[in-house]
Copies of this chain bind each other. A is one copy, B any other.
Amino acid sequence: MPNVNIGIDMMGGDYAPCEAVKGLALYLNNNSNQSSVLCIGNEAELKPLLESCDLVTDERVSIVHAEEVIGYNEHPTKALKEKPKSSIAIGFKLLASGQIDAFISAGNTGAMLVSAMYSIKAVEGVLRPTIPTLVPKLNGGTGLLLDVGLNADCKPEQLNQFALMGSEYAKHVLNIPNARVGLLNVGEEEGKGNILCQATYPLLKENTQINFCGNIEGRDLFKDNADVIVCDGFTGNVVLKMAESIYDIAAHRQMENDEFFHRFHYENYGGTPVLGITKPVVIGHGISNDKAFKNMIIQAEIMIKSNFCDKIKAVFSL
């Protein structure tokens, strides 16, 4: 297996570029990590930071200068048009041309998604790409919930595709073969739910590419009833943010080190992969710290080495 090239937007996130550099150092300190990392950002800012971490002479590290940055509050499409030399725009150019095998950013989420759609594009047959979140289970395992915000309104066929993409991610990246797929719903029985769920259930049931296990209620989200849970992006986003607030609440009560609540901390998961596009892209939390950056690099590495995007192309070409 040849070594891979991972591009990181060093300028994205509230604590960039400092935490991005520290995260890179955490990753490289483990000598078995052999991927090459292209640091995309302002060279003058990055060089002293990389030097302070002894990374300038590391053969695995190189800098790609980007003189502009897209801010957190900028309008995605407008910003991408006006800032072709921004770290995000350059990152996607490198990804599209094959100079990097994956791109990571904790920057403007909208700009990341718009770029992903227009530069590297959705896999043929995928109606809409989707973003999942990992869900910590009470038994110590990990589940996947999707969509968590990319598609506020969904059609049944989209949820059916989320189920397939989520199953592939579970299999190749999370190492969960034959993932049980659940439909987030308001009752256990078939026929329950809103119009979307009522129409989605039979599609999931008949889909031979997935292992459908029925409806999952809000109370069972953290149980081990399913590995992949699908829902529309509105519901998923409300659930995701509510789950994040559970960590804050636990932390406020000095319970953040509780083995279950601790697992709600975003840093442990790295970032959010965009599923259904032709190349690996990982979007980080705006408040990403060093540990989050390190985990995003590892996550991108697994996506590259498992040929995740090719697996998605394969299941959608059947």
**Residue ranges of A at the interface with B (Cβ–Cβ < 8 Å):** 138, 149, 152-153, 184, 186, 193-195, 197, 217-222, 231-235, 237-246, 248-249, 252-253, 255, 258, 260
- With A and B bound together, what is the CA distance between A253 and B193 in angstroms? 32
Considering the complex, give the chain B residue whose CB is closest to the CB of A258: B253
Chain B residues closer than 8 Å to A138, beta-carbon distance:
249, 252
- In the complex with contacts A186-B149, A195-B153, A253-B258, A218-B239 CB distance below 8 A: yes
Interfacial chain B residues near A233, Cβ < 8 Å: 186, 194
Copies in the complex: 2
Q: In the complex, which residues of chain B have a beta carbon less than 8 angstroms from the beta carbon of A195?
A: 152-153
Interface SS of chain A: helix, strand, loop or mixed?
Answer: helix
Q: Is B194's CB under 8 angstroms from A219's CB?
A: no
3 pairs of A and B residues whose beta carbons are closest in the complex: A218-B241, A152-B194, A218-B242
B237 contacts A218, C-beta separation under 8 Å: yes
User: Given A153-B194, A219-B244, list of 19 further CB < 8 A pairs?
Assistant: A152-B186, A152-B195, A152-B197, A186-B237, A193-B234, A217-B241, A218-B239, A218-B240, A218-B241, A218-B242, A218-B245, A219-B241, A219-B248, A221-B242, A222-B245, A222-B249, A239-B242, A253-B258, A253-B260
A237 / chain B contacts, CB cutoff of 8 Å: 186, 218
A-B contact pairs, 8 of them (CB 8 A): A153-B194, A186-B234, A218-B244, A220-B241, A220-B245, A221-B242, A238-B239, A249-B260
